[in-house]
A and B are shown apart, each in its own frame.
Chain A
Amino acid sequence: MNTLYLAKRVVIAFLSLFIVSSLVFGMTMALPGSAAEIILGTQQTEESVQQVREEMGLNRPLHVRYLDFVVGTFTLDWGQSLVSDQPVVDLIAPRLARTLQLALFAMLLSIVIAIPLGVIAAADRDTIVDTLITSVSYVGVSIPSFVSASLLLLFLTTPPLDLFPTGGFVPFSEGFVPWLRHLILPAVSLNVIIFAYVLRQTRSSMIETLESDYIRTARLKGLTERSVLAKHALRNGLLPTVTVLAINFGWMMGSVVIVEEIFSYPGMGRLIVQAISERDLPVIQAGILVPTAAFIFANLLADIVYTYLDPRIQLGEQ
């Protein structure tokens, strides 16, 4: 494993985070009128605007506010919510934890189901098994998550198949089964699309790998097809899938809004929707930064996994 390469990746990840926080700050600055006026909306008076500006520290010089914001991004100090007066980080933390549980569970479903199916489809290429798997995944790609979520709700939470609760969240500490039952439906509907992406990516890169010269070498060593697959093909064939997973993880963090809304799941998505309707600017800012950071760090993780899987990766040559 190349430590120099990893060091560079980490530096780049933090650099990206810095740029994003600058962008978010810049966007707030670019809004017409001052942030205080936006927050107050139609109810603004000269005094109330002044008061909010005071509270938010908007009277300080621009560079001080910028520095404050950027440093805040890295120290998780995003100020106070204007609505509840709690620190933003206290609002975000529990909800982020719940959304992460949902997203990670959805990812896990992809990994344990979609990747093996993709590998099977590639190994049995052009057989009935492959056709079946591929066409099911086509259906998956074309169903938007709000449709799949609504269908799941309709069929699995009402009699006769009253298998799951209609929504909400139960922490793990109150028992594994209730926790799981609340998590499964939102995770499945979040999963439908990325499941198909992961499966198709796995299939196509595995097919490419299985046609490569070193797979021929492995077969001509006299290895059984199973060892060829397990020892020679998987490691190389799964590389592109790692990227797809990372990108989809970031995408999931941003698109949980709809699914959380449908299943009344108290996560980041609902918090952001609420903050927007209440014009709670510090919470909105954090709501943009957190999923972006999740995206950045998911990609960093993918890069680390990559260096483990592919020894060719070195600094500067990819």
Chain B
Amino acid sequence: MSRQDFDRRSSQGDRLLSVDGLNVEFAVPGGTIRALRDVSISVETGETLGIAGESGSGKSTLALAIVRYLDSNARVPSGEIRFKGRDLLGMSRRELQSLRGNEIAHVAQNASRALNPSLTIGEQIKETVELHQDVSGNAAAMERVYEVLHQVNIPDPEGMVDRYPNELSGGQQQRALIAVGLSCNPELLILDEPTTGLDVTTQAKLLDLIEELKAEYDVGIVLITHNLGVIAQIADRVNILYAGEMMEKGTVREVFEEPANPYTQALLATTPELDKNKELRAIPGQIPELGSIPDGCIFADRCAFATEECRSGDIDVETVSPTHQTRCRRWETAVADPIETGTATRRSSTPGDVILSIENLVKHYDEGAFLRNLLGDHQPVRAVRDVSLTIREGETVGLVGESGCGKSTLGRTLLRLHDPTTGRITFRGTDLASMSKAQRREFRSECQIIFQDPEASLNPRKTVNEIVPRPLRLFTDLDEPAREERVEELLDQVNLSLDLKTKFPHELSGGQQQRVAIARAFAANPSLVVLDEPVSSLDVSVQASILNLLSELREEYNTSYLLISHDMGVIESVCDRLAIMYLGKIVERGTLEDVFEPPYHPYTRSLLSSIPSLDPDDDTDRIRLEGDVPSARTPPSGCSFHTRCPQKIGEVCEAEEPPLEAVDGTGGDGEAAHCVSCHLDREEMSRPLDDI
């Protein structure tokens, strides 16, 4: 539907869903959490309303409030929810049951947990059909099941109905869950973080699906996500939530092109964008506790435009244009003088000596015990297959690929957290396998790792003051006062207040926890730190500050990083060189410029083109990869990417494995060279997208 259509329809006032002045409170021991305050949204048939916000913004609460599924300690003191004119808040249990799953479908986040593990996909869809639809007999119900599975593009619907959720890939699970939601032709579809946790390639295909479904089913869609790129690509209108309040709403174009709220501006400035050379601006401070709501604007403490007048009274929603509203008194100033995203100066580092080199590393998992090999035709997981890589002093190497490509295994194996199956790892010229106990100890103190989930990587029973100096005790002979001094210095460097010293990990926010993990990793002056998805569990506003911190520490300590990430934006903002991994092999490596610009390996190109852009007008053609990553137990022959490659030549791809060699034709594979492992020639790898 075009935007003119949208304007016309909204003026006709045919409201599918309208939420007016909704307040939701949760009674908790010692007070009330005011999770949603004065939230109003409206959705019409045939449009996608995006709801964006960070964690704690109340977006999932809003979704559950619409289907009247709030915890027993929740209260709705005021507000109204109307669905096709009917008052949802006043409905009886029976009326709700006939509405849920039938006219309103809620598709929860995290499909792997939202599907019942002990029922087949077919049963889970069929039961909704049988419940709400007038189908006669099993055959008619199953027909609808096949139909809806077909519509969500699940491969082999006939076979899929008998499978259990654990037998499906993440993307397939999400599709199956959407199929459950669509099975009774709902008029309103609520999608809560439908692409979170999926690879960019899978996400891109899912977004296509949502667009298709909107056209096919003539539904209204409420799309909840923290990912602004997703909103920019498929939503018609957007509402930005912050700490339980609606900060800004309007058409996607208006909000993304001329954000009239300081929070929206700050959020856009802190989101990494590919190929923009953007200097990420962290949002200072953190989201407030909702136990006591301060007077005035909820964002004032973190706002670049806030003045004294922002800190008192109720902040009203102001009109920017008929289709664009903002909750800000100073929006005109914000529009006139918006937060600029500076250009990052890409550092020109001169890397030093090689500190770590990996030669022909192979790592197999799960090679099978005696009995399993005896009883079954058992294949090990070939997580890393013949990888060579060097890391120099002061250099940051990125490692990118879809999940299941062996990135984390490689990162852990090179630290000897796993033993390699074959291959050589040398640290400053010494083979790890032949290290003495003392040398091994030295290696441990020189090489550290930071994990994705900071809470899980910090001992829950130790305070910050016990966690951070641990490497100092292990690897240095500093005495107590010297250690204490060092801890204070470290906490200062990672921007943590000294008051936090006595806190336990669960008392800290996610960003603070990751800072503690970073302080611990840097305690003993490491020369190499493996960063395994260091920011992917963090909100985007926190993400930028952690990435900036990591860059500062790198300058300060001249540390090398191996940064493992699925997020190209994150890679671009930190790395000097990068390697693209697919099914346990490096398929392309080179400097940032080399890899991000043609010639590309077809896999790199697909990854890059799958990333949703923040520009709603970005209509560039996108590559959609077929299927999922094949099993690492039985990788395809020849070039392992041939089963999904959009530029496959033919038999040669299936039969012969292309070597990783320099694209400049010299045939060399030096570490600085731009190397690609592909049968295509240079021209074919550089061809514009629409020719493929």
Residues of A within 8 A of B166 (CB): 311-312
The answer to whether A221 touches B114, judged by C-beta atoms less than 8 angstroms apart, is no
Q: In the complex, which of the residues A231, A232, A315 contacts B376, with contact meaning CB atoms closer than 8 Å? A: A315
Chain A: minimal CB distance from B95 (Å): 10
Q: Mark B108-147, 1 if CB is under 8 A from A, else 0.
A: 1010011111110000000110011000000000000000
For residue A126, which residue of chain B has the nearest CB? B72
The answer to whether A216 touches B69, judged by C-beta atoms less than 8 angstroms apart, is yes
Chain A: minimal CB distance from B685 (Å): 40
The answer to whether A311 touches B114, judged by C-beta atoms less than 8 angstroms apart, is no
Residues of A within 8 A of B69 (CB): 216, 219-220
Does chain A have a CB within 8 A of B307? no
A-B CB pair tally, cutoff 8 Å: 83
Does chain B have a CB within 8 A of A45? no
Q: In the complex, which of the residues B97, B127, B366, B375 contacts A231, with contact meaning CB atoms closer than 8 Å? A: B127
Does chain A have a CB within 8 A of B550? no
11 A-B pairs besides A8-B375, A220-B106, A220-B108 with CB distance below 8 A are: A213-B113, A214-B114, A216-B114, A219-B69, A221-B131, A222-B98, A223-B131, A231-B119, A236-B117, A311-B164, A315-B376
Q: In the complex, which of the residues A8, A214, A221 contacts B117, with contact meaning CB atoms closer than 8 Å? A: A214
The answer to whether B131 touches A222, judged by C-beta atoms less than 8 angstroms apart, is yes
Max count, chain B CB within 10 A of own CB: residue among A11, A217, A219, A235? A217
Max count, chain A CB within 10 A of own CB: residue among B366, B371, B372? B371
Given A4-B375, A219-B100, A236-B106 contact (CB < 8 Å): no
Chain B: minimal CB distance from A312 (Å): 5
For residue A220, which residue of chain B has the nearest CB? B106
A311-B120 Cα distance, complex, nearest whole Å:
9
Q: In the complex, which of the residues B131, B180, B369, B375 contacts A217, with contact meaning CB atoms closer than 8 Å? A: B180
Given A222-B99, A222-B101, A312-B166, A217-B117 contact (CB < 8 Å): no
Q: In the complex, which of the residues B67, B97, B366, B369 contacts A224, with contact meaning CB atoms closer than 8 Å? A: B97
Chain B: minimal CB distance from A102 (Å): 33
Chain A: minimal CB distance from B181 (Å): 9
The answer to whether A310 touches B372, judged by C-beta atoms less than 8 angstroms apart, is no
Interface residues of B (CB under 8 A from A): 67, 69, 96-102, 105-106, 108, 110, 113-119, 127-128, 131-132, 164, 166, 177, 180, 366, 369, 371-372, 375-376
Instruction: Give the bracket for the number of chain A residues in contact with chain B.
Output: 20 to 34
* 7 residue pairs bridging A and B, Cβ less than 8 Å apart: A8-B375, A222-B102, A222-B128, A224-B97, A311-B117, A312-B166, A316-B369
The answer to whether B118 touches A309, judged by C-beta atoms less than 8 angstroms apart, is yes
Residues of B within 8 A of A217 (CB): 108, 114-116, 177, 180
The answer to whether B132 touches A312, judged by C-beta atoms less than 8 angstroms apart, is no
Identify the 3 closest CB pairs spanning chains A and B, nearest first: A221-B101, A222-B100, A222-B101
Main DSSP-derived SS at the A contact region: helix
A232-B131 Cα distance, complex, nearest whole Å:
15
Chain B: minimal CB distance from A2 (Å): 10
Does chain B have a CB within 8 A of A212? yes
Given A221-B101, A221-B128, A216-B108 contact (CB < 8 Å): yes
Residues of B within 8 A of A316 (CB): 366, 369, 372
The answer to whether A236 touches B102, judged by C-beta atoms less than 8 angstroms apart, is no
Residues of A within 8 A of B102 (CB): 222
Chain B: minimal CB distance from A8 (Å): 6
For residue B117, which residue of chain A has the nearest CB? A312
Q: Mark A1-22, 1 if CB is under 8 A from B, else 0.
A: 0001001100100000000000
Chain A: minimal CB distance from B243 (Å): 24
For residue A218, which residue of chain B has the nearest CB? B116
Chain A: minimal CB distance from B598 (Å): 43
A217-B173 Cα distance, complex, nearest whole Å:
13
Given A7-B375, A312-B166, A220-B67 contact (CB < 8 Å): yes
A213-B117 Cα distance, complex, nearest whole Å:
11
For residue A217, which residue of chain B has the nearest CB? B114
Chain B: minimal CB distance from A96 (Å): 31
A311-B177 Cα distance, complex, nearest whole Å:
18
Given A4-B376, A222-B98, A235-B118, A213-B131 contact (CB < 8 Å): no
The answer to whether A214 touches B116, judged by C-beta atoms less than 8 angstroms apart, is yes
A282-B177 Cα distance, complex, nearest whole Å:
61
Chain A: minimal CB distance from B141 (Å): 14
Chain A: minimal CB distance from B144 (Å): 14
The answer to whether A213 touches B114, judged by C-beta atoms less than 8 angstroms apart, is yes
The answer to whether B371 touches A8, judged by C-beta atoms less than 8 angstroms apart, is yes
Residues of A within 8 A of B67 (CB): 220
Q: Mark A213-245, 1 if CB is under 8 A from B, else 0.
A: 110111111111000000110011000000000
The answer to whether A232 touches B119, judged by C-beta atoms less than 8 angstroms apart, is yes
Residues of B within 8 A of A216 (CB): 69, 108, 114
Chain A: minimal CB distance from B344 (Å): 40
The answer to whether A11 touches B371, judged by C-beta atoms less than 8 angstroms apart, is yes
The answer to whether A221 touches B118, judged by C-beta atoms less than 8 angstroms apart, is no
Chain B: minimal CB distance from A317 (Å): 9
- 8 A Cβ contacts from A240-268 to B: none
A214-B111 Cα distance, complex, nearest whole Å:
9
For residue B109, which residue of chain A has the nearest CB? A213
Given A221-B128, A315-B372, A236-B116 contact (CB < 8 Å): yes
The answer to whether B180 touches A221, judged by C-beta atoms less than 8 angstroms apart, is yes
Residues of A within 8 A of B96 (CB): 222
Chain A: minimal CB distance from B325 (Å): 30
Q: In the complex, which of the residues B116, B128, B177, B371 contacts A232, with contact meaning CB atoms closer than 8 Å? A: B116
Chain B: minimal CB distance from A304 (Å): 15
Chain B: minimal CB distance from A170 (Å): 42
Given A8-B375, A312-B166, A222-B97 contact (CB < 8 Å): yes
A11-B376 Cα distance, complex, nearest whole Å:
14
The answer to whether A222 touches B132, judged by C-beta atoms less than 8 angstroms apart, is yes
A309-B164 Cα distance, complex, nearest whole Å:
12
Given A213-B108, A311-B166, A221-B119 contact (CB < 8 Å): no
Q: Mark A173-208, 1 if CB is under 8 A from B, else 0.
A: 000000000000000000000000000000000000
A316-B96 Cα distance, complex, nearest whole Å:
43
Chain B: minimal CB distance from A1 (Å): 12
Residues of B within 8 A of A212 (CB): 113
